[in-house]
Structures are given as structure tokens and as C-alpha cells.
Amino acid sequence: MRLTFTTTLIFILSIYMPQHVIAKSVAENENSQHSKKIRQHKHKQTLAVGATYDKNGTLWLAEVKDQKLLVSYSKNKGESFSIPVIVTPIAENIYADGENRPKIAITQNGIVLLTWSQKQSKKYSGDIRFSRSIDSGQTFSSPITLNDDGLITGHRFDSLTTNGKGKVIIAWLDARDRDAARNRNENFTGISIYTAQSNDNGENFDINKKFHEHVCECCRVPSVWTTDGPIVFWRNIFGKNTRDFAISNLEKGGIRRVTNDEWQVDGCPHHGGDIALGSDNRLHLAWFTLGKNRQGLFYKYIQGAQESTPIPIGDSTAQASHPSIAASGKNVLVTWREFDGKNITANIMYSTDGGATWTNQQRLADTYGPSDYPMPLINNEQQMQIIWNTKIEGLRIIPVGNNLNFQSSILSWYTYLKNGLFE
């Protein structure tokens, strides 16, 4: 009975959904009992990956396995990948879970840039690491540590951005100022953002520079390179303990508050936002808040002095969380994660007019066990995808197509039957 049902289901799904999505979904049935054990596993998984497309349409992937940072690439939009190349020949304890993930970027002349956060002996401590390849990912330079204070303290949540023409800036959350204040018996709210800059595609870096003090301790600091320079987006601490978001130019300075949620909380929510650059220098933002003025996930765009009204994302009753955003031209894709009581789900919405209007919010995939947060991608042909790494199914690269609504209906129907018949 089970074999007959599964065979029939595969045939129906094969008509409408990509083969690599079907194969991973069917694998859930065969691993349902194993997945329940995985959910009880207390150790963190290194499931968080980094991915980007280069100008030639090659998809690059950075992932952590067995304390090694690996890089591979795909010439067919993620259907298959090259044999991974080891970036860290000596094993490193690398942050690759939650909002910490390896970062990868490709310059216009094909240099592959990588950053990651390496765990140190103290709790919440780490170092910001860097490596690059100048031979199209065949070999990588010996990893170096970018934070230059020599302290065993917090240097984490790195962000990598480049103009593609030589300039590279890495920003991260840094606890050196907080530690120094404590040594003087002084109060220090939050921690700081520090940066390291290169003007030769990562061959050399300037000394560290303090960018801003009193920022949230554990919320990622994503950045993008605009025609006006590198822009960073972070959860700032305004006043005593109001943790709303700000943007700034990493080269020119100046702070602009871009959310007025009025979230007053004495501690970091471990829930950063994301930023992407679209056409006409329009900045697309996605974030989470439990503020006095609004609660949940939200999206807005900024273009010069103009700011759109925030719109809600996801189902707050399903714990919608950890949004990511990608933009190319007028195409914008937002992803986030939810939990429906049984499954962790990867969800999306997208816009084809620069964020003015949006599709219905949809669920694209689910899993029973531990998972990364789903990441959005838009390739050179303006095709949208999500990349989602889960413990049970492995790495999934799922296209977002014109038949999205029907795909979502088929997936929902399949999940309903699966939950009823395979437990």
C-alpha cells in the first residue's frame, strides 16, 4: 500500500515540480522516524551556508562540514556542483548556525572573497577570518584573522561587501570597547561595529576602524555596495534601550534611523534584519520587531529621502522569523521561516516592480528537523530561487516560477497526505 501510494504521488508531483525538489520531499517519508531523533539533538548544526551568483551566472556555495570551510560552484543554477575545495586546511570551529554564516562574494575579475567567524575558547568569543582565491576557486590563500586587537572576546557576525573593482569592506560586531569599559568599572550598553577595508581585492587590509558604538550584541549586520558607497543595516540602541534599525555609509558615516518600532528591550533578541540593493539605488529592508508601534516581520524600501510604509510579512502565529531579502533590478524576493506545529517551513513573497506590489505570501518547502534559514537568490537571467539547507533533506535549491501558486497548492496537499499516512 505504501509503495503504491508513494509511486503515485511521485508521478503526480513530477508533472508540476522540479525533480530535485520532489526527490528531497519524498526522502522525508523514509526518514520521518530519524527526523524525530534529530529534533532532540542538543548540539548546534553547521547548516548555515553562503551563496552568490557571479556576473557569468555561476552559482558559488560556501558551507561548513567537519570543521572545514568548503567552496564549490554550479554552472547549471544549482542542479549539480563541483567537487568542493577546502579553504581551511587546518580544522576550525566555525560559526555556521543561526544568524552566523560564511560569506562569499565574487569581484568583477573573478576573485573569490570569503569571510567567516571562528569560535574561540570563551563563550560568545570569536575571530573574523578571511581568505580569497585568485584562480577561480581552484586554490585559496591561507586564512588570516582580520580583528587586530589580539583579544579573546566577541568578534562575530561578519558582513562582506565589495564594489567589485578592488574595494572590499568587512564589518562585524566587536566587544573590545565593552570589555575595556567594564575593566574601568563603567557601564557600556551593547557592543560596537568595527571594520577592515581593502583597496586591492583583499590582498591587504587597513587597520581596524571603530565605526559605531552601542549596537545590539547578536543581530547580524548585513551590508550592500551602492553607487554612493557601502551601506550597512543594523539594530541600533537608541536612548537607554530602544532597539530599532539604522543604516549608514561605512565610508562616510552618519546614522539614519529607518524603523520607528520603539522596541524597548534590555537584551539582544538575536534577530537581525536584511538589506538588498535594487535598481535606481533603491534599498529594500526586511526586519523583525516586537515594538510598541508594530510587532512581527516587516518590509519597506528607501530611495533617497523617500521611505515606503512598512508592510507585514508572514504569519506571526506561526512564529514567522529571520527574513532575508535579495534584489536585482526591479525584482525583489523575500524569504523567512515559520513553524506550523509540525513542520518548519520556508516561505516567500516577491515583487517585480521594485517593492510597489507583492505576490501572495507562499510556502515553498518544509522539513521536520534542524534547518538553516532560507536564503533568496536572483541570478543574471532574473530567475528567482531559494537555497535552503536542512539536516534531513540536505541542500535544496528551489526555483520560484510563474506556477508558484499551483506548486504551493500541490506541496500543501502532499504535506497533508504525508503527515497523515507516514507517521
Residues 225-252 pLDDT 10s: 999 999 999 999 999 999 999 999 999 9
pLDDT digits (tens, 9 = 90+) for 11-48: 444 444 444 444 334 333 433 333 333 333 344 689 99
Q: Is residue 273 domain-resident?
A: yes
Supply 345's cell numbers: 517551513
Q: Torsions phi, psi of 399, nearest 5?
A: -75, 145
Contacts of 280 (CB under 8 A, 6+ apart): 303, 354
Residue 45 has a pLDDT of 83
The radius of gyration of the chain from alpha carbons, rounded to an integer in Å, stands at 21
Residue of higher predicted confidence among 52 and 417: 52
pLDDT digits (tens, 9 = 90+) for 171-203: 999 999 999 999 999 999 999 999 999 999 999
- The per-residue b/e assignment along 362-383, b for 16 or more CB within 10 angstroms, e otherwise, is bbbbbbbbbbbbbbbbbbeeeb
Q: Is residue 7 domain-resident?
A: no
Q: How far apart are CA 133 and CA 53, in angstroms?
A: 16
Residue 267 has a pLDDT of 87
Q: Is residue 37 domain-resident?
A: no
User: Can you give the pTM of this predicted structure?
Assistant: 0.86
pLDDT over 70 at 49, yes or no? yes
317: number of Cβ within 10 Å: 9
Smallest CA-to-CA distance from 50 within 63, 39, 38, 37 is with: 63
Number of separate domains in the chain: 1
Residue 44 has a pLDDT of 67
Q: Is residue 36 domain-resident?
A: no
pLDDT over 90 at 102, yes or no? yes
Q: Is residue 168 domain-resident?
A: yes
Q: Is residue 315 domain-resident?
A: yes
Q: How far apart are CA 153 and CA 182, in angstroms?
A: 13
> Of the segments 29-38, 121-130, 411-420, which one has the largest average pLDDT value?
121-130
Q: Is residue 47 domain-resident?
A: no
Q: How far apart are CA 158 and CA 50, in angstroms?
A: 12
Residue 268 has a pLDDT of 86
Q: What is the CATH number of the domain that holds 243?
A: 2.120.10.10
Domain that holds residue 190: 100-414
Residue 247 has a pLDDT of 98
The pLDDT > 70 percentage for the chain reads: 84
Residue 402 has a pLDDT of 52
Q: How far apart are CA 131 and CA 225, in angstroms?
A: 20
> Of the segments 16-20, 218-222, 404-408, which one has the largest average pLDDT value?
218-222
Smallest CA-to-CA distance from 113 within 46, 203, 49 is with: 203
Q: Is residue 409 domain-resident?
A: yes
**What average pLDDT does this structure show over 60-70?**
97
Question: Concatenated DSSP letters for 389-423?
Answer: EETTTEEEEEEE-TTHHHHHHHHHHHHHHHHHH--
